[in-house]
Structure 1
């Protein structure tokens, strides 16, 4: 076994475990605070699927939230519990990791404004269309019932011990709910991180570049598929693309890899098991793969 690959795997596992744990807890707590001050009825009215503007608002919300694919999950949980429109929630799920400010900024620096505008418009358009179609096709039935339920805080609250106890502090109550939520998704999180870290550590960039070179007519499809198992943060995926291009990888294939890895990492797919039934998860991956492949071929057609 290659010691360097093992070290890379263990390093990535440690990094992702710490990062995603802190992100999940911080974002879940933030969502809990938002729910305290923004009533569910307000969220419903803003992100209603009956309101055509709700889809655009959801896409723009995804574009301004600096979330990676995994850290969208606690925010999505909050939208589910607020009974926001299903279609608009899916738009947010598709758009947030692909259109966040970090990835758009790096896109502009690496590929230029024209390509960035193409990427932004294409990704937002497909996200809105996919969310609308999933709503109309009745995919809401594949949301697990427990995903709509607020977690029951663990430990003693105002109901413990007797009538002299003061009501529990609201900030502590939000933390207890956050921790309860985190414990539910922890097995999914650890499984996704472990698998993703193994693939990251033992799949060298040379291999990715070789199977997705300009000489391979299936390069874009292969890149999109390879991107799904990887967990590459927005801060890393675009700088990595420069190295892959230098090793002979086509730009359309790089585009497909970026969409696949940023839009539907394996870690995120495993986490979505806590919210969705299998048909919804399969459809989610299919939408991201389709977006990656179509964007890759369209990029080659327009810019090469």
Structure 2
């Protein structure tokens, strides 16, 4: 085995271990927290706050996404909680799009690494496209592509669904919510592991030089190529910004860098696989279309407008 292959294998195993531990902990913690939140906040209250009947629900969902430090995968358990609480479909989609892209970590790193002007372009486009896409998907009736089981708690008699009853004392929720959380986790675990494995292999074996070769300043297709590459190349926000800065230093255009960041942070392969347990294929396709469109809009806007130059 050559040294380069050995290094790639080591990076793959290291990334798989890191992501498996991190995402497992995040999924369990967030799912449990959402379950407890549902025990104390009624579905009617969540429906009122995140209603799609007025524009406020869309804006609140976008702001909620902006203040939650979730990556693309850890957004899923929160989304499941919103589905079970019957929140508005459009606002839920806004949260799904905006949460991994506008979280405080990625915005802070963006500002430090690329400056405030680039960060402003990124923030405005990600926020605007998230809200528009959520509204459009609601009006186009994409709610029909949600799997019916996604609205149901995994253990109605001793889980989140039962904990919503006001007749049960709050202190009795803790154990029941944990049982529901663990059953939920076992359901998504195969999806999670497959996504992590594929993403880790791509991370370990995909050469950096290959990315810069096809996404350099001289390539007119650099931005769409970067957007597509970013999806299977699952990297957390804490890593994708420094990596993108290194790629820019090697000659990658900043428009392509922005597309890569949105593709990677907004729609990782692991997230897409997890979403398959919630959505039917047309909704998965719509989700990917929105993220790829957002990535290309941001990339081309930055590359070809005075604000981005």
Residue among 67, 82, 85 paired with 1:82: 85
Displacement over 6 Å in runs of 4+: none
Contact persistence 1:25–1:179 (CA under 8 A): yes
Residue among 9, 26, 30 paired with 1:27: 30
Can you give the 5+ residue segments of structure 1 that lack an aligned partner in the other structure?
Answer: 156-166
Partner of 1:112: 115
Can you give the 5+ residue segments of structure 2 that lack an aligned partner in the other structure?
Answer: 159-169
TM-score after normalising by structure 2: 0.93
Partner of 1:159: none
Shift, 1:115, TM fit: 1.8
CA distance in 1, matches of 2:172, 2:21: 28
Deviations 1:251-292 (A, max 9, x none): 000000000000000000000001000000011001100110
- Equivalent residue runs for 1:78-157 within 5 Å: 78-152=81-155
Residue among 232, 237, 245 paired with 2:235: 232
Residue among 35, 42, 45 paired with 1:42: 45
Contact persistence 2:36–2:173 (CA under 8 A): no
Partner of 1:262: 265
Contact persistence 2:233–2:268 (CA under 8 A): yes
Deviations 1:192-227 (A, max 9, x none): 111111111111212111110111111001100100
- Equivalent residue runs for 1:1-304 within 5 Å: 2-152=5-155, 169-302=172-305, 303-304=308-309
Change (3 A) 1:211 1:154: farther
Deviations 1:150-203 (A, max 9, x none): 111799xxxxxxxxxxx9942111100000000110111011111111111111
CA distance in 2, matches of 1:73, 1:154: 23
Contact persistence 1:228–1:264 (CA under 8 A): yes
CA distance in 1, matches of 2:156, 2:213: 51
TM-score after normalising by structure 1: 0.94
Contact persistence 2:121–2:298 (CA under 8 A): no
**Cα RMSD, aligned residues only:** 1.6
Shift, 1:301, TM fit: 1.5
For residue 72 of structure 2, give the secondary structure of its aligned residue in structure 1. Answer: coil
Contact persistence 1:154–1:177 (CA under 8 A): no
CA distance in 2, matches of 1:35, 1:85: 16
CA distance in 2, matches of 1:32, 1:205: 41
Contact persistence 1:25–1:178 (CA under 8 A): yes
